Structure 1
Amino acid sequence: MSLLDTGIAIAFSLIVFVLGVSFARSGSNVKSFFAAGGAVPWWISGLSLFMSFFSVGTFVVWGAIAYNTGLVAVIIQATMSIAGFVVGFFIAPRWNRTKALTAAQFIAERLGIKTQKFYTLVFLLISIFGSGAFLYPVGKMLEVTAGIPLSVSISLLGMLIIIYTAVGGLWAVLVTDVLQFVVLTAAVLIVVPLAFIEVGGVSQFINVAPANFFALTNAEYDGFFLAAFGFYNMVFIGGSWAYVQRYTSVKNAGEARKVGILFGALYLIAPLIWMLPPMIYRVINPDLDAAGAEGAYMLVSQLVVPDGLMGLILVAMVFATASSVNTTLNIAAGVFTNDVYKAVKANVSDREAMRVARLATVIFGCICIWVALSVADMGGIVEVVFSLAAITGVALFLPPVWAMFSKVQTGKSVVTVTILSLTVNGVFKFVTPVIWDFSLSRSPEMMVGVLVPILLLSLFEISGRMRVGESQQYQQYMAQWSTKHPRQSQREVADSASANVFARKVIGIGILAVAILLLALGLQASQGSWIIILMAVITGAASLLVFPGKLSRSALSKVLSV
């Protein structure tokens, strides 16, 4: 990277850090720290959900698939849009109506403390190891592009995430997610037209593309895989504890519905925009091997963007992955504080709970850094944990989601389903290839991971309805629900409203800072300057739209009238 790229990357990193720690005083109690007061604007929560789904894998793994297979990569990701709409209309509102602070709290109230302990242990192990594994490729990217030693880049990024997540809580996570969305969107919308110019236009790209490059499916990713992958994502988006937090932190079920719908709408459009750069690079340079294809996104960006913008794109990708890590840290600390620590110690004050929450964030963050630094030595273990998480999302997250809609499921039934499903998936993934030299291809593997828990839950559902109609656990849950979830006090409502206004101001300032960076880059760019300046103007207008009050609306009107 050039000196200007490095300067831009440092400047954006400082913007993210300052915005995150600006919420140091917003976390006065556990609800404000982990649920942002329970009245987050739906569009902030929706954009955060969208960004939390991103990682370096979006650009590396999916970029490689797009380079090699073309439109298939877009179609696979479009199934996430359908999943988002299903979650928005059915699952997200139901989560909000539980009035639980975390998914673990709902599991404890609906399915019992023992069930909660089981799922909490599994969740914490997989999420912390998974977040550590996310940090490693980010560190590797910084090492390759910026020349920063791997251990230093992992440690610095990890500490940066820990500080602003521990200080600012969920608000810090949400606001930085929105800013990352703006930067990544602006960057990709700049890269796409510049890449088309490089290849000779849209028609030239279509004419020169390889055969079947625009096919909707192929032998590896067939219709059965798409159906199973779509259902998997529906369960993952609707049941992953980190994402559940986005539905429970808005003020009512209607707002939660909008969160899911916004996610679905964005994934209806975003995959084509995100995947176009590596697809275009296939025409520019068709000779990349498998390893080289993983760098297609960075290669096309380096080829077409002017000096300085590469630094912004790189740091945006880095913080997109950081979004997954800080989301996990916040919810993991929330589960530990709200559902483990408070269960062990009674009558915990708000001040003590906040100390525990911030300490838990730091400890879990340090574990993530340790895992990332140890990947080279314990890569086999991390790969097993990561592979297991990837193929067992339905086994882990579907049973509690099912229990929200069922009157007969019990703690015993959902734990049994999870254990049996994990066992079946684990046998096909790790045992049969070694003992019998038999392994499932991608589509059957996904189908098994989806169908086994569905079949088992259906059997328990039918059996329960035939025997009892309503389980005793369900009756107890309904009887105690109103006493455990009183209405918000007037002070809590006022605090939430104040926090929302402050958050919009912070987001507006952050977006305006990004617009200024883009404008400066556009004015000195030797190529594509008009595209960059246009994105700077659009980004600046967005900052005025976000900023609360009459002043922003008046300023926006003047801009539009020019």
Structure 2
Amino acid sequence: MQLTDYLVILLYVLGIVGAGLIFARKVKSSNDMFSAGGQSPWWVSGLSGFMTMFSAGTFVVWGGIAYRFGFVAVAISMCYGIAALLVGWFLAGYWRKLGVSSAAEFLRLRFGKSVVQFYTWFQGFVGILSMGGAVYALAKIISALMPLPQGHFLADPATGLLSVSFASLAICIMVILITFSGGLWAVLMTDVLQFVILTVSVIFVVPLILMKAGGLGAFIEKMPEGFASPVAEDFTWWFLIGWVLIHFFKIGGEWAFVQRYTCVPSAGDAKKSAYIFGVMYLISPIIWMMPPLVYRVINPDADFEQAYILACQMVLPAGMMGLMVAAMASATASMATTQLNVFAGAFTTELYQQLINKSASEKQLVFVGRVLTAILGIGVLIAALLIPRYGYTKFIIEITTLLTGPLVLPTIWGLFSRKIGLREVWITTFLSFLALIVLKFGLSQTGFLSGITALEPLITLVSDHIRLADLTSGIAVPFLILCILEVFTKSEHPGWQRVMASKASYQELPPVEASTMPAKMVAVTLAIVAAVMAALAMIDKAEGKILLIFSAVLLGISGVTFATVRKISARSSGRS
């Protein structure tokens, strides 16, 4: 990258952190800090949920799969869209109708404090590992683009590139500052900015990389055999079906996504937020995955984990490349800030307020939430330094397939079942984890059950279909356990009535007018980015045309957003 790219990255990061500081003025209570006061517009919540699925893993893991296997990466990404639409149909509105501000509050009402404490600690630990992995992957991408002089104190002596450890530290500091200052408001707003800039950047990459390949026809002609198939190797139709199911649980019950349904004014808004999430993931994967797909026919010998960024580097001019890297960084920051905000909120309410200081004031809760955000951020940094020992791609796939069902399915089941209670949750969790241990440590080729002759066919079957085996353990086991417990449990659990009382209370609340502040911030920020790109076009005559077109597109989006905000504000004034 060139000096211009570094300057754009610096300005972008400063702008994102500055936006977080601006939103700090809206944080007057723990409700503002962790659920945006219930005033988030549905489209902001939906796009934020969309970006929460993004991280450097989107470019490293799925971009690498696109480069190696082809359009199966598009099919896998579209599974998120199907799952989100199902969540919008069945779950999102129901979450809002319950009148709770978070999944943790629902669990406390439905099952009691012990389950909340377990989920807070265990999911918090898993969340920190996930964030650390994403930060590591992003640091790896950024470091690969930043060669430094020999002996530079920030360089990795082995590669001469920017140290991955230092890049991880810088990313973690940015994430902590955004979440620490502006809470969920800052997270939501930066998510939308990242969505717009990253989408527009990738849309520009697609035609440029196709031109490098000789056009769409040449790309299709040069594709490897089977490249256009929606399935490949271990990524079978059964895997795709399981991926939809596992993400129905994840998007419908994981705390970070539930937060997106409880921070909007109404149940209808919650549904719409899930629907926009789903629709975007049905139509956008072909655009997102095109750069590494096309790059495969241009350079079939590249490092598959770097294929995405190498494709962008090939065609983007100085300035736009920096913005693309900054947007990738922001996508990872989006995922990390979301998780930090969720678990800082959970630890604040379920640990500090429930167990340490039940009479804590709102000012105290906000302060503790910010301190816990910083502490969890340090944990993310430690995870980012340790996760390479396991392998990032392997970690992402296994943690999703194996743990989502046991940790989330009891929550979703409790939304509709009158009978499932604390005992059933513990039984389901324990037996699911036991099945996981047997699968990963017993039925492997070197596992503790490998010496039993009668089990050799099963061990071979698991080894040959490991991803399908993981999905079976992660989905079928907890589902079957809950079905059995549902049949044999006869009495209604007391938590059901507590949840119904909360739902009745919510129905009596007046509707809240959604805030237009995030949209205003998006419009202003996009206009600033457009101005920077236009200025760069005046400097870089060779690539000036691309930069000017990019600037015009961003300015157009800014203008449309601002005009829409004015209409909404005028309507609101007329009603008042």
TM-score, length-normalised on structure 2? Answer: 0.88
Q: Which runs of 5+ in 1 are unaligned?
A: 555-562
- Structure 1 stretch 342-351 or stretch 515-524: which is displaced more? 515-524
| More deviation, 454-463/524-533 | 524-533
1:42 is matched with: 42
Q: Deviations over 1:407-442 (max 9, x none)?
A: 111121122112211221232123321224533422
Aligned with residue 447 of structure 1, among 472, 487, 510: 472
Q: Residues 333-372 of structure 1, C-alpha deviation per residue, up to 9 Å, x if partnerless?
A: 1101122211122222111111111111111112212322
- Give the conservation status (yes or no) of the 8 Å contact 1:224–1:447: no
Question: How does 1:116-131 map onto structure 2 within 5 Å?
Answer: 116-131=116-131
CA positional deviation for 1:551: 6.0
Aligned to 2:152: none
2:268 match: secondary structure: helix
Segments of structure 2 that go 5 or more residues without pairing to the other structure are 148-161, 451-458, 570-576
Corresponding residue SS for 2:180: helix
Counterpart mapping for 1:158-177 below 5 A? 158-177=172-191
**SS of corresponding position for 2:24:** coil
Distance 1:526 1:412, change over 3 A: farther
Larger deviation, residues 379-388 vs 504-513: 379-388
1:231 maps onto 2:245 in alignment:
yes
Where 1:200 maps in the other structure, the secondary structure is coil
Q: Which residue of structure 1 lines up, in the alignment, with residue 140 of structure 2?
A: 140
- Does structure 1 residue 325 correspond to structure 2 residue 340? no
Contact 2:98/2:499 (CA < 8 Å) preserved in 1?
Answer: no
Match for residue 381 of structure 2? 369
CA distance in 2, matches of 1:552, 1:2: 42
Deviations for 1:163-192, whole angstroms, at most 9, x for unmatched residues?
Answer: 121110000101111111111111101100
Question: Which letter maps to 1:128?
Answer: I
Taking the TM superposition and a 5 Å limit, the aligned residue runs for 1:160-559 are: 160-288=174-302, 292-344=303-355, 345-375=357-387, 379=390, 387-388=398-399, 390-433=401-444, 434-435=446-447, 436-437=449-450, 438=459, 439=463, 440-464=465-489, 467-468=490-491, 470-479=492-501, 482=504, 493=512, 500-525=515-540, 529-547=544-562
Supply the distance in 1 between the matched residues of 2:545 and 2:409 (Cα, whole angstroms): 48
Deviations 1:421-466 (CA, angstroms, capped at 9, x unpaired):
12212321233212245334222322332111111111122223xx
Q: Distance in 2 between matches of 1:237 and 1:363?
A: 26
C-alpha displacement of 1:286: 1.8
Conserved in 1, the CA contact under 8 Å of 2:180 and 2:370?
yes
Distance 1:31 1:277, change over 3 A: same
User: Given residue 48 of structure 1, which amino acid in structure 2 is its aligned partner?
Assistant: S
Shift of 1:479: 4.4
Q: Paired residue for 2:101?
A: 101
- CA 1:129–1:216 in 2, change beyond 3 Å: closer, same or farther? closer
Instruction: Quickly say closer, same or farther: Cα 1:38–1:374, change in 2 above 3 A.
Output: same
Q: Does the C-alpha gap of structure 1 residues 187 and 552 become closer, same or farther in structure 2, counting only changes over 3 Å?
A: farther
CA distance in 2, matches of 1:25, 1:143: 35
Higher mean alpha-carbon deviation, 178-187 vs 114-123, is at 114-123
- Find the aligned partners of 2:403 and 2:74 in 1 and give their Cα distance: 23
What's the % identity of the aligned pairs?
36
Offset from partner CA, 1:57-108 (integer Å, 9 cap, x none) = 1011111111111111111111111101001111111111122111111001
Aligned-partner Cα distance in 1 for 2:42–2:502: 28
1:540 and 1:385 map into 2 onto residues whose CA distance is: 37
| AA in 2 matched with 1:306 | P
More moved, 158-167 vs 139-148: 139-148
Instruction: Give a deviation string over 1:469-496, Cα, whole Å, max 9, x none.
Output: x33332344346556x696589xx5xx7
3-state secondary structure, aligned to 2:301: coil
Shift of 1:390: 4.5
Aligned equivalents of 1:457, 1:62: Cα separation in 2: 32
2: distance between equivalents of 1:458 and 1:521?
61
Cα distance change on mapping 1:130 and 1:446 into 2, 3 Å: same
* Contact map agreement 1:81 1:267 (CA 8 A) in 2: yes
C-alpha separation in 1, matches of 2:31 and 2:300: 52
Query: Deviations for 1:29-58, whole angstroms, at most 9, x for unmatched residues?
Result: 011111111121000011111111101110
Alignment length (residue pairs): 540
RMSD of aligned residue pairs (Cα, Å): 2.5
Partners of 2:555 and 2:343 in 1: CA distance: 35
CA shift for structure 1 position 219: 3.5
Comparing 503-512 with 203-212, greater Cα deviation is found at 503-512
SS in 2 for 1:105: helix
Structure 2 letter corresponding to 1:539 = L
Equivalent pair of 1:104/1:116 in contact (CA under 8 Å):
yes
Partners of 2:467 and 2:82 in 1: how far apart?
21
Q: State the distance in 2 between where 1:46 and 1:334 align.
A: 20
Amino acid at match of 1:337: T
User: Residues of 2 paired with 1:269 and 1:523: CA distance?
Assistant: 35
CA 42–310 in structure 1, closer or farther in 2 if over 3 Å, else same:
same
Partner Cα separation in structure 2 for residue 152 and residue 268 of structure 1: 36
Q: Distance in 1 between matches of 2:319 and 2:6?
A: 8
TM-score calculated relative to the size of structure 1: 0.90
Q: 2-side partners of 1:427 and 1:448: how far apart?
A: 10
The aligned amino acid for 1:475 is Q
Mapped to 2, the partners of 1:428 and 1:359 lie a distance apart of: 39
CA 1:553–1:527: 2 relative to 1, 3 Å: farther
Distance in 1 (alpha carbons) for counterparts of 2:532 and 2:360: 45
